[in-house]
Amino acid sequence: MNSFAHLPVLPVVLPLIAGIVLLALRPGRPPGAPPEGDQRLAAYPLRILRAHGLSLQRGISLIATLALVLLAIALAHATRDGNFLVYALGNWVAPYGIVLVVDRLAAWMLLMTSLLAVFALLYAIRGVDAGGRHFHVLFQLQLFGLNGAFLTGDLFNLFVFFEILLLASYGLLLHAGGRNRVRAGLHYVVINLVGSTLFLFAVGTLYGVTGTLNMADLAVKLARTPTENLALVQSAGLLLFGVFALKAALLPLYLWLPAAYSHTSAPVAALFAIMTKVGAYGILRVGSLMFGANAGPVAGLFDPWLAPLALATLVLGTFGVLASTTLKQQTAYLVVASIGTLLLAFGLGSVDALAAGLYYLPHTTFAIAALFLLADLIGRARGRFADRFEPGPAMPGAPMLGGLFFVVAVSITGLPPFSGFLGKFMLLQAALDTPLLSWAWSVVLATGFASMIALARSGSLLFYRTHSTHDPASLTPPTCAALAPVVGLLLLGIGLALWAGPLSQHTAATAAQLMAPQQYIEAVLRRSSDSQPLAEAAP
C-alpha cells in the first residue's frame, strides 16, 4: 500500500479528535467534588483532570497543532512532483462518494494554516485562553473546518466545512465577551448566515441541473451544459462567487470585517488572517476547475467580475487604513487591502499572475497576523491609551516594540528586501501582458505608497509623540514569551524572501497545475474496478 494512502484524511481527523478530547478536559471545578485534602478526591480522577484542565488543554492543543505542521510538510512532500492524493471516504469512489483531494494548492494552504495556528496558539496560552472554558476546543474545531475546506473534493462538503469553521469562529470571536465584541459578533453571524443560505441555494441548483456535487464530476458536466440550463448554471455559479466574495471580504461585502477583527482577542484575530483566504481559495478552486477555460459555455464565469472588484477593494481598504483611529482597526483594513491585492493576482488569470498571488498569500497572512499580535502588546504597554492613535506615555520596551513595528510595516507595505516586495513585483510583472496593465500598476503602487504613509504616521503617534503624565503601575512591558510569536511570524516572512527562488518555482508549478484542471479531473474520476469509466466523459 502507498505510504501516503491515509495522509489526506489525517489533517481533518486530528483536530476533530483533539477537540473532543479537549472538551472532556475543559477547566473548572465540577459541582459536588470533595474539597482539597479530602481522601474521597481520589475517586474523582476525571474531575481532577477537569480541575486542572487548562494546563492539559494547552499541552494537548499545542501538540495537536504541531502535529498538523508535520502532516502538512508530509503532504507537501508527497505532492511536490505534481501528484494527486485522492482519499475516498468509506471507500466509496467518486462521484458516488465523498473524496478528499490533496494537490499542490491544498498542501500549500494546509502548511500555511498550521504554521499560523502554532504561533497564534503560543500567544493565546499566555493567558488569553483563560477567558473562556472552550477556547482550545473551538480552536481545534476551527482548524478542523479550515483543513476540511482545503481538502474536500465535494461542493456540498465544502459548504459543510465552511459552516464548521464559521461556527467555531463565532465562539472564538466572542471569547471573553464584551459589548463591542458582542455587537461585532452579531453582525458577523447575521451576514455569514445569509451567505450560507445563498451557498445552499447555489449547491441545490447545481445538483438539480447536473445530478452531482463532486467538483471533478461537475467540471465534466458543466462543460456540456445544454442551452436550456445555461441560465440556471450561470446563476448558481454567480451565487457561489458572491458567497466566496463575502467570505473573502471583497467589495462591497467587506463591511463586516473591520469591526469583527478589531474587537476580538489578538490570537483569534491572528488566526482569522487565514479566514478571508478561505474565500479566495474557493474562488480559485471553483473558478479554475468548474468554470475554467475548458468549461465550454460557462468558461470564465468569474473573470469579468474578479479583477475590477479586487482593484476597488484594494482602493477602499487603503482608504480605511488611512482613516483608522486604532492600530487594530488599521490592521483589519490592511486585511481588506491585502485581499484586494491577492484577488487581483487571481483575476489576471495567467500562470505568472497566479504564481505571484500564491507567493503573496502566505506573506500577507503571516505579516498581518504578526501585526495583530503586536497591536495587542502595544496596547498593553500603553495602559489606558491602548492602541489608539493619540499621544500617550512612553512605553516600557519601546525600542523592541518599535523595531518590530518597523519590520512589520516595511513588510506589509511591500518595500524591499522582504517578501511583500517580491510578491508585488511578481504581480506587476505578470500584469505587463494584460489589458489591466495601467490599472494594476497605478492602483497597486498608489495604495502601497498610501499604506506606507499611514503606517509611518501610526508609528510616529505611538512611539514618538509621547508625554510623561501616566501611572507607571498601569503599564505592562512585553516579555520574551509574548514577543516570541511575533518574531516567529516575522521569521516566516523572512524565510519566504530568503528562499524566494525555490518557493516561487513551487508556486509557478502550483499555478500551472491549476490551469490544467484535466489532471485533477482524471485523478479523481480515474477508472477503477468499482466505478464506471467516468474518465472517458472528460472533455
Kindly list the distances between the CA atom of residue 6 and the CA atoms of 15, 19, 160, in Å, as whole numbers in the listed order: 16, 20, 22
User: Which pLDDT score, from 0 to 100, does residue 130 have?
Assistant: 81
Nearest to 142 by CA among 25, 15, 18, 259: 15
| Per-residue model confidence (pLDDT) at position 34 | 47
Counting Cα atoms < 13 Å in the Cβ hemisphere of 357 gives: 29
pLDDT score recorded for residue 384: 81
Q: Assess whether the previous peptide bond of 399 is cis (omega < 30° from 0).
A: no
Tally Cβ neighbours within 10 Å of residue 23: 17
Mean pLDDT of the chain: 86
Better-predicted residue by pLDDT, 501 or 537: 501
Q: For residue 528, is pLDDT > 90?
A: no
Report CA-CA distances (Å) from 318 to 87, 126, 263, 335, 447: 42, 32, 20, 10, 6
Give the phi and the psi of residue 38 in degrees, each rounded to 5: -75, 135
Residue 2: is its pLDDT beyond 60? Answer: no
pLDDT classification of 52: cutoffs 50, 70, 90: low
Of 90-104, 139-153, 311-325, the poorest mean pLDDT is in 90-104
Task: With a cut of 90, say whether residue 336 has pLDDT above it.
Answer: yes
Q: What is the DSSP letter of 29?
A: P
Residue 60 to residue 45: CA distance in whole angstroms: 18
Residue 203 and residue 155: Cα distance in Å, rounded? Answer: 7
State the Cα–Cα distance between residues 106 and 82, nearest whole angstrom.
12
C-alpha cell at 233: 448554471
CA distance 87 to 102: 9
Residue pLDDT, tens place only, 206-242: 999 998 999 999 999 998 988 888 999 999 999 999 9
Q: Is 25 exposed, middle or buried (0-12, 13-18, 19+ CB in 10 A)?
A: buried
Least confident range from 1-15, 183-197, 364-378, 440-454: namely 1-15
DSSP per-residue letters across 58-101: HHHHHHHHHHHHHHHHHHHHHTTTS--EEEEGGG--TTTS-EEE
